[in-house]
């Protein structure tokens, strides 16, 4: 895993190498093992390396010396198979990331279609003087860009583009702010920063003379090649093949790796597959909460780990962790995500790094691919039985009348995705899944994973978000995903057979962090401090903010969490304060 940044100057001008250097300096946490730079014609880019595969000869940029240079953030898992398929190509390293450079002369802008992995890449073709940027189909790895007055600049994180002088932190999008406060993330190409855009999942763009001239996009799901299952046993066998293949290639690494184990279906399935493939015990990390009324998953995770013969490392997350780590979590999330699951993810990354690991396998994507959420079960029911309701139909801040103005348009991004999918032949369940995979997954869950782990120079890999697994999962008939009140039916059945100790058919508890209880213990003080923050005061009347921090109730606690996170995020990223001390110290600065 790495950090990449670069610039193609406008109209053949000279790229500002100092600005590129500032960007890559801002990404140092993403790759502490090495740095490389490239400058030719009107393009300059740079790379910070986290060494995972080919520790000796895998430094970037790669240059074929015939007219192209490449930098990559990510992993190409099928590099061994692609090298075997193309013996005519002249590979000069053992790196997985060299693969796109060698395939590019024959495949051009379609090169990403051959890649199986998580990646964001930039390739400069000196023969045509064009720049190609590409991102993996699920959007596991991030890539942002700005079409600035000096040309097109790109980077792995928005804060690098701001550090390079290509965008201003305080030039915020009103629509983006409404969307963030209403949904806890932002959708589509637009970010909360007015000038900074995301490359979409699966998108490839071509840039000439500092401006985008072509866009192409591939979907994570290949419905045309979807398999037809003869029966449930056939589907189960296909799932087993896909899961084992995906976990095997996701374990390709020249450094030690571990995994995150919540005790839920997804991570337990992941551990089951890893245990079958590894001779040594798998190192499994679990976060838990001794305080409060939320479910602590450690006991069940411990039983699953014991059944798999894993080495189990339990990580306590307490109220003091919440107060001390939240400013640093907010600092890591320059593309803001108000998801309380960022908290244990950040601490797990901290512990994994301290244990000397650079790679962890994670279960992200299982709910979206195999239909684990309650709203998916609702989608399979007719309207007269409570089904077919719009997702995220109402904002909690709107519900509690906390905003100065009604947040018009906050749902436009999700609504646009829903509208496009209604014209397809997908079932209502598949449509809801596809919306989540297009928006919620890349713009919330995967940003959370990327930033909270890369803050500690740790790479998170997601075997469930693999083309082989996705093809099986999305093609499953609805009744192999949802039966009655049970979601993820086929995945549960697979896990039940492979690891009975996981108790796969027990009701899903979900993952909850007791942030409401922790905030409530300091409600009066926090409410006063949050209400006084300029970013919050601009959006919400201070007296209502103070009130919600001292009230009981699920909606009130959730609203208080959103406002607290936003206050810290705005304080750090927009006002420029350092994330020093605990929550109280930071807000008082």
Gap between the Cα atoms of 237 and 243, Å rounded: 10
Same CATH topology for 2-217 and 223-502: the answer is no
CA angle 289, 533, 344 (to 5 degrees): 20
Give me the residues paired with residue 5 across strands.
46, 155
Task: Kindly tell me if the per-residue pLDDT of 406 is higher than 90.
Answer: no
User: In the predicted model, is pLDDT for residue 384 greater than 60?
Assistant: no
Residue with tokens 């890559």, as numbered in its chain? 24
Q: Which two tokens stand for residue 437?
A: 């995979």
Q: Are strands 130-135 and 203-208 parallel, antiparallel or unpaired?
A: antiparallel
Question: Does an H or E element contain 161, and which?
Answer: helix 158-163
Mean pLDDT value across residues 27-38: 95
Of the two residues 299 and 223, the one the predictor is more confident about is 299
Q: Can you give the pLDDT at residue 409? A: 85
Q: Which of 296, 561, 286, 336 is nearest to 452 (CA)?
A: 336
- Tell me which of 3.40.630.40, 3.40.140.10, 3.60.20.10, 3.40.50.410 is the CATH number of domain 2-217: 3.60.20.10
Per-residue pLDDT, 9:
98
Taking the C-alpha atoms of residue 184 and residue 395, their distance in angstroms, rounded to an integer, is 10
pLDDT (mean) for 68-87: 97
Axis crossing angle, helix 319-332 with helix 554-569, rounded to the nearest 10? 50
Q: How confident is the model at residue 426 (pLDDT cuts 50, 70, 90)?
A: confident
Q: How sure is the predictor about 504, in pLDDT bands with cuts at 50, 70 and 90?
A: very high
Nearest 10 degrees: CA dihedral of 80, 86, 90, 92?
0
Query: What is the token pair recorded at 160?
Result: 């690098």
Looking at every residue in the chain, the average pLDDT score rounds to 93
pLDDT in tens, 112-168: 999 999 999 999 999 999 999 999 999 999 999 999 999 999 999 999 999 999 999
Between CA 85 and CA 88 the distance in angstroms is 9
Tell me which residue has tokens 């601490």: 347
Closest C-alpha to 462, from 448, 482, 478, 476: 448
What percent of the chain stands above pLDDT 70?
96
Asked if the model's pLDDT at residue 435 lies above 60, the reply is: yes
Q: What's the rounded Cα separation, in Å, for the pair 122 and 2?
A: 13
pLDDT at 425: 82
The reply to whether omega before 134 is within 30° of 0 (cis) is: no
Which two three-digit tokens encode residue 539? 């959006």
Within 13 Å of residue 222, how many CA atoms lie on the same side as its CB? 10
Predicted confidence band at 391 (pLDDT cuts at 50, 70, 90)? low
The pLDDT value recorded for residue 12 is: 85
Of 48-62, 167-181, 264-278, 454-468, minimum mean pLDDT range = 48-62
Average pLDDT over residues 455-480: 94
Long-range contacts of 88-94 (CB under 8 A, 24+ apart): 92/57, 93/54, 93/57, 93/58, 93/62, 94/53, 94/54, 94/56, 94/57, 94/58
Q: Is the pLDDT of residue 223 over 50?
A: no
pLDDT value of position 5: 98
Q: How confident is the model at residue 418 (pLDDT cuts 50, 70, 90)?
A: confident
Q: Which residues lie closer than 8 Å to 405 by C-beta, 6 or more apart?
A: none
Estimate the share of the chain in helix, then strand, then coil, as percent rounded to the nearest 5: 45, 15, 35
Per the DSSP assignment, residues forming a β-bridge with 9 are: 151
Min mean pLDDT across 200-214, 373-387, 506-520 is at 373-387
Residue 315 pairs with which residues in a beta bridge?
Answer: 287
pLDDT at 314 > cutoff 50: yes
148 vs 66 pLDDT, higher one: 148
Enumerate residues 6+ apart whose C-beta is below 8 A from 190: 173, 175, 176, 197, 198, 413
pLDDT the model gives residue 511: 64
Neighbouring-strand partners of residue 4: 47
Q: Order of strands, edge to edge, in the sheet holding 257-260?
A: 311-316, 283-288, 257-260, 359-361, 459-461
Query: What is the pLDDT, as a whole number, of residue 234?
Result: 95
Q: In the prediction, which pLDDT does 390 show?
A: 63
329 in Cβ contact with 342 (< 8 Å) = yes
Which candidate, 120, 94, 454, places its Cα nearest to that of 253? 94
Architecture of the domain delimited by 223-502: 3-Layer(aba) Sandwich (3.40)
Tell me the helices (H) and strands (E) count for the chain, helix number first. 24, 17
User: Quick one: tokens of 432?
Assistant: 């809801």
| pLDDT score at 337 | 98
Domain layout of the chain by residue ranges: 2-217, 223-502, 515-588
What are the residues facing 359 on neighbouring strands?
A: 257, 459
At residue 389, the pLDDT reads 58
What integer is the mean pLDDT of 503-522? 86
Sorted by sequence, the CB contacts under 8 Å of residue 11 that are 6+ apart come out as: 209, 210
């Amino acid at each position: 895993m790495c950090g990449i940044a670069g610039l193609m100057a406008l109209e053949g001008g000279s790229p500002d190498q100092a600005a590129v250097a500032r960007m890559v300096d801002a990404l140092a946490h993403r790759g502490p093992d090495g740095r490389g730079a490239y400058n030719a014609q009107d393009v300059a880019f740079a790379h910070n390396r986290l060494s995972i595969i080919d520790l000796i000869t895998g430094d970037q940029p790669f240059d074929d010396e015939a007219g192209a240079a490449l930098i990559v953030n990510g992993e190409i898992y099928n590099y061994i198979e692609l090298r075997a398929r193309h013996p005519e190509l002249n590979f000069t390293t053992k790196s997985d990331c060299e693969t796109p450079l060698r395939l590019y002369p024959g495949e051009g802008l379609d090169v990403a279609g051959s890649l199986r992995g998580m990646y964001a890449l930039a390739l400069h073709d000196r023969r045509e003087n064009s720049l190609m940027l590409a991102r993996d189909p699920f959007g596991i790895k991030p890539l942002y860009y700005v079409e600035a007055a000096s040309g097109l600049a790109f980077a792995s994180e928005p804060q690098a583009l701001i550090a390079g002088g290509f965008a201003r932190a305080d030039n915020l999008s009103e629509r983006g702010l409404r969307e963030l406060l209403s949904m806890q993330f932002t959708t589509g190409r637009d970010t909360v920063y007015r000038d900074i855009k995301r490359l979409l999942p699966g998108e490839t763009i071509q840039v000439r003379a500092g401006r985008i001239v072509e866009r192409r996009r591939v979907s994570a799901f290949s419905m045309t090649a979807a398999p037809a299952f003869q029966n449930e046993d056939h589907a189960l066998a296909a799932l087993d093949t896909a899961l084992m293949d995906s976990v095997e290639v996701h374990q390709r690494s020249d450094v030690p790796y571990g995994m995150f184990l919540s005790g839920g279906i997804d991570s337990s399935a992941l551990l089951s597959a890893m245990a079958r493939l590894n001779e040594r015990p798998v190192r499994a990390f679990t976060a838990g909460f001794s305080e409060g009324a939320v479910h602590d998953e450690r006991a069940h995770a411990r039983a699953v780990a014991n059944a798999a013969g894993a080495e189990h490392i339990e990580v306590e997350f307490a109220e003091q962790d919440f107060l001390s780590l939240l400013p640093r979590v907010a600092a890591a999330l320059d593309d803001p995500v108000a998801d309380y699951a960022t908290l244990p993810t950040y601490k797990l990354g901290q512990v994994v790094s301290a244990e000397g690991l650079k790679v962890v396998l994670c279960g992200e994507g299982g709910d979206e691919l195999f239909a684990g959420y309650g709203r998916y079960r609702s989608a399979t029911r007719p309207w007269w039985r409570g089904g077919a309701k719009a997702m995220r139909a109402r904002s909690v801040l709107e519900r509690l009348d906390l905003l100065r103005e009604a947040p018009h348009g906050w749902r436009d991004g999700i609504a646009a995705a829903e509208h496009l999918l209604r014209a397809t032949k997908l079932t209502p369940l598949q449509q809801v899944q596809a919306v989540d995979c297009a928006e919620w997954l890349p713009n919330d869950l995967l940003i959370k994973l990327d930033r909270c782990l890369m803050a500690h120079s740790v790479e998170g890999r997601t075997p469930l978000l693999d083309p082989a697994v996705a093809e099986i999962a999305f093609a499953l008939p609805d009744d192999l995903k949802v039966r009655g009140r049970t979601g993820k039916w086929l995945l549960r059945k697979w896990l039940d057979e492979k690891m009975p100790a996981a108790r796969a058919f027990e009701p899903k508890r979900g993952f909850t962090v007791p942030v409401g209880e922790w905030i409530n213990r300091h409600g009066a003080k926090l409410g006063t401090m949050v209400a006084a923050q300029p970013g919050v005061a601009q959006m919400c009347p201070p007296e209502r903010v103070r009130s919600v921090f001292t009230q009981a109730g699920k909606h009130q606690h959730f609203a208080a969490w959103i406002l607290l996170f936003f206050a810290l995020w705005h304080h750090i990223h927009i006002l420029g304060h350092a994330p020093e001390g605990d929550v109280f110290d930071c807000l008082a600065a």
